[in-house]
């Protein structure tokens, strides 16, 4: 649907946002005591990633009076997150009423922004928000709140010196700059706990020009008239299959290992305040059983996404058809399955990601020393799960924990808060999920504020002892 932007509506909304924030500004002034290291300024919190989780975290910290914060983003302005880069769905998969970066402030909600831009009737008629509109909404949130973001700046190393984190960033011109910080929040999305995954039997057997992961840039126009094989059962696999079909692929065959396509979406169940608020406080065994069920269900393609593929006569899906091996044969790629060979011109790989901190260059100093679920928890017989075991076992503040309690880098780990998808088994839906963002940000920012205040307890006490501003200034009768 094409809409006409309403500049007047957005201008009026800006005034409402400013008025709302002014009404609830009590105790949001900065209270953190400034720190420096060898005359260099020290941030109270450095946030890595300017997608939805990073923006919401910066706003949440400001609401708690922590304003010495900066967000660092590797992408250029407008390219943060997946929405206008590699996401290929038409709309978000979450219902339109789900809120997130607004942190409960009505004038900052997606609904308020959408109505200001397109009108109330357009909102009433809307099914789900398009991914392009969601990116525009996030851009608006960043601008309306004047959040401090530095783009084109990639985190390449985290070090620990003198009780502070020393962050090294590579800039677009190739230069490396450093920034000191007391705390770091990793808000680097789905891949922030590891890396996107292409099975070795594909990457080692096929030239990289003949396949692409769903997270990569794909020139779908070049796939016009081609036979496309898609591997994966998740929504992104179907999104890419549909995009190839819409660009004129000769045929698209989607293969999945499961005997049937997932149909139940656990996210809809999880969208209740009990789970979103308190999951992290459950015992390990209960959390493990929750996550085994959630991961086993997987997230199915939404009905409209499936129909987007199914309406094409040249689309076929093949349950119970894992790919056993692949090979190049002339200009073709031959895929062996339990049911025989399939021949394609190009492969699209929708096999998700692996959770493996050793694949994150910026984590190299602590990656092998961080406690994982498999280090902490032994699953009952028959309830084992290798994927869950690979996730970091986080503390109640989203912080990394050491595998060995006497690790000399334990304080460094405590200063790094993991707000990525990898936090899910420990913390539930949080930074990499719109559905859980508001609740996750509340827990995260309260924890960071607590840590900073307690660490500076003696300095805060001294500030009180030094406080000498008179409120009673006259002992004479009033005029």
Domain 198-263+300-351, what fold? FAD/NAD(P)-binding domain (3.50.50)
CATH 3.50.50.60 fits 6-193+355-461, yes or no: yes
Element (H, E) at 252: strand 251-255
**What's the pTM value of the predicted model, to 2 decimals?**
0.95
Strand order in the sheet with 227-231: 211-213, 346-349, 227-231, 251-255, 315-318
Instruction: Give domain limits for the chain.
Output: 6-193+355-461, 198-263+300-351
pLDDT mean over 110-125: 97
Crossing angle between the packed helical segments 434-455 and 457-466, to the nearest 10 degrees:
60
Neighbours of 75 (CB within 10 A): 16
Q: Token match 């709140």: residue?
A: 145
Is there a contact between 377 and 393 (Cβ–Cβ < 8 Å)? yes
Domains 6-193+355-461 and 198-263+300-351 share a fold: yes
pLDDT digits (tens, 9 = 90+) for 15-66: 999 999 999 999 999 999 999 999 999 999 999 999 999 999 999 999 999 9
351-402 pLDDT tens trace: 999 999 999 999 999 999 999 999 999 999 999 999 999 999 999 999 999 9
Query: Is residue 404 pLDDT above 60, yes or no?
Result: yes
First-to-last alpha carbon distance for the chain, in angstroms, is 67
In terms of DSSP bridges, do strands 416-418 and 176-186 run parallel, antiparallel, or are they unpaired? parallel
What digits encode the pLDDT tens for the residues 59-102?
A: 999 999 999 999 999 999 999 999 999 999 999 999 999 888 99
| Rounded percentage of the chain residues whose pLDDT exceeds 90 | 92
Q: Tell me how far apart the alpha carbons of residues 393 and 292 are, in angstroms, rounded to a whole number.
A: 15
Banded model confidence at residue 299, pLDDT cuts 50, 70, 90: confident
């Amino acid at each position: 649907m094409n809409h006409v932007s309403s500049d007047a509506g957005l201008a009026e909304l800006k005034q409402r946002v400013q008025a709302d924030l002014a009404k609830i500004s009590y105790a949001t002034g900065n209270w953190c005591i400034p720190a420096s290291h060898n005359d260099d300024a020290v941030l109270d919190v450095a946030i890595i990633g300017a997608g939805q989780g990073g923006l919401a975290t910066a706003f949440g910290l400001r609401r708690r009076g922590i304003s010495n914060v900066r967000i660092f983003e590797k992408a250029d302005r407008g390219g943060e997150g997946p929405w206008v880069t590699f996401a290929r769905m038409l709309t978000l998969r979450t219902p339109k009423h789900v809120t997130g970066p607004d942190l409960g402030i009505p004038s900052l909600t997606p609904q308020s922004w959408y109505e200001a831009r397109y009108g109330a009737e357009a909102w009433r008629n809307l099914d789900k928000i398009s991914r392009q509109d969601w990116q525009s909404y996030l851009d608006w949130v960043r601008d309306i709140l004047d959040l401090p973001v530095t783009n084109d700046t990639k985190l390449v190393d985290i070090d620990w010196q003198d009780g502070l984190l020393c962050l090294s960033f590579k800039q677009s011109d190739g230069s490396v700059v450093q920034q000191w910080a007391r705390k770091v929040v990793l808000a680097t999305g789905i891949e922030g706990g590891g890396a996107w995954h292409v099975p070795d039997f594909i990457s080692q057997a096929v030239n990289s020009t003949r396949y692409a992961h769903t997270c990569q840039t794909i020139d779908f126009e070049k796939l016009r008239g081609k036979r496309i094989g898609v591997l994966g059962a998740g929504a992104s696999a179907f999104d890419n299959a549909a995009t190839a079909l819409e660009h004129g692929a000769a045929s698209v065959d989607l293969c999945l290992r499961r005997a049937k396509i997932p149909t139940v979406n656990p996210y809809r169940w999880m969208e209740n305040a009990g789970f979103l608020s308190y999951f992290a406080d459950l015992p390990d065994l209960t959390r493990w059983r929750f996550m085994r069920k959630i991961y086993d269900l997987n997230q199915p393609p939404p009905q409209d996404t499936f129909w987007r593929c199914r309406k094409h006569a040249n689309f076929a899906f093949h349950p119970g058809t894992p790919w056993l091996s692949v090979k190049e044969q002339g200009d073709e790629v031959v895929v062996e399955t339990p049911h025989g060979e399939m021949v394609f011109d190009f492969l699209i790989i929708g096999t998700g990601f692996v959770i493996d901190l050793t694949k994150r260059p910026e984590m190299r100093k602590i990656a092998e020393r961080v406690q994982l679920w498999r280090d902490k928890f032994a699953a009952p017989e028959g309830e084992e799960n290798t994927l869950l075991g690979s996730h970091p076992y986080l503390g109640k503040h989203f912080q990394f924990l050491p595998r060995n309690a006497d690790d000399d880098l334990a304080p460094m780990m405590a200063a790094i808060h993991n707000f990525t998808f990898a936090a899910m088994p420990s913390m539930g839906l949080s930074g990499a999920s719109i559905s859980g963002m508001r609740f996750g940000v509340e827990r995260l920012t309260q924890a960071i504020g607590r840590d900073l205040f307690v660490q500076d307890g003696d300095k805060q006490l001294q500030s009180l002892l030094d406080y000498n501003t008179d409120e009673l200034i006259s002992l004479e009768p009033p005029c």
